Amino acid sequence: MNATYLRKKFDAGLTWDQYLATDTERAGNWLQIYEQVNLTPDQLSLVGGFSRDLKMLCVSGIWCGDCVQQGPLLQRIAEGSPTIDLRWLDRDEHADLAEQIKINDGLRVPVVIFMAEDFEPVSFYGDRTLTRYRAIAARQFGASCPLPGAPVPDDELQGTLQDWLDEVERVHLLLRTSGRLRKMHGD
């Protein structure tokens, strides 16, 4: 994946509202989780203090239970920072990209591609955070995909939010300390 390719994909990406409008029947499940979680004042202070522009492209499926439970958390993080620009792509409509970000040889979702301001790839992360995997393992072992709309305990949501926030902060610090970007910005 190069910057030109990622820029085209990012430009094809949808905003949160546009993405949810692609399936209004399922959007309610996303909005339910969105309303259930907010960033704490400390989390807002952290993301609000980011100084590097960060592009985040979430490859997702509006039909996917893991996306329902994690996508709204990503949206909350992005809303907390003027430097984060988050876009959404349907995995199945962008199979060429999905093939390039397989995890354990699987077309997993959600997967976030993190990019610098000039669309240079920095990292990708997904499909479930450590908190999500721990919760699923505690409930059952083996393959599972939670049903969209199934209740999610608040502590699991908060833990998953923190997992995603930790990754976003890690990427921001990578960008902030990048010699290439420091030279470009003169800082």
CATH number of the domain residue 167 falls in: 3.40.30.10
Looking at residue 147, what is its pLDDT? Answer: 59
Q: What is the pTM of this model?
A: 0.92
CA-nearest of 7, 158, 148, 168 to 79 is 168
pLDDT tens by residue, 21-51: 999 999 999 999 999 999 999 999 999 999 9
Which domain, by its residues, includes 122?
Answer: 3-185
Q: 158-183: b or e for each residue (b if 16 or more CB lie within 10 Å)?
A: bbbbbbbbebbbebbebbbebeebee
Task: Give the total residue count for the chain.
Answer: 187
Q: Quick check: 148 pLDDT over 90?
A: no
Joined together, the tokens standing for residue 86 give: 């988050």
| Span 80-116, pLDDT tens digits | 999 999 999 999 999 999 999 999 999 999 999 999 9
Structural contact between residues 56 and 20, judged by C-beta atoms closer than 8 angstroms: no
Handedness of CA 123, 57, 89, 36 (dihedral sign): positive
What amino acid occupies position 19? Y
pLDDT score of 141 more than 90: no
Give the whole-angstrom CA distance, residue 153 versus residue 126: 20
Tell me how many domains the chain contains.
1
Question: Are the CB atoms for 73 and 58 separated by under 8 Å?
Answer: no
Give the angle subtended at the CA of 171 by the CAs of 92 and 155, to the nearest 5°.
75
Q: Give the strand order in the sheet containing 111-115.
A: 84-90, 54-60, 111-115, 121-126
Query: Residue 85 in contact with residue 168, Cβ under 8 Å?
Result: no
Report how far apart, in Å, the C-alpha atoms of 64 and of each of 4, 52, 91 are.
29, 31, 10
pLDDT surpassing 70 at residue 145: no
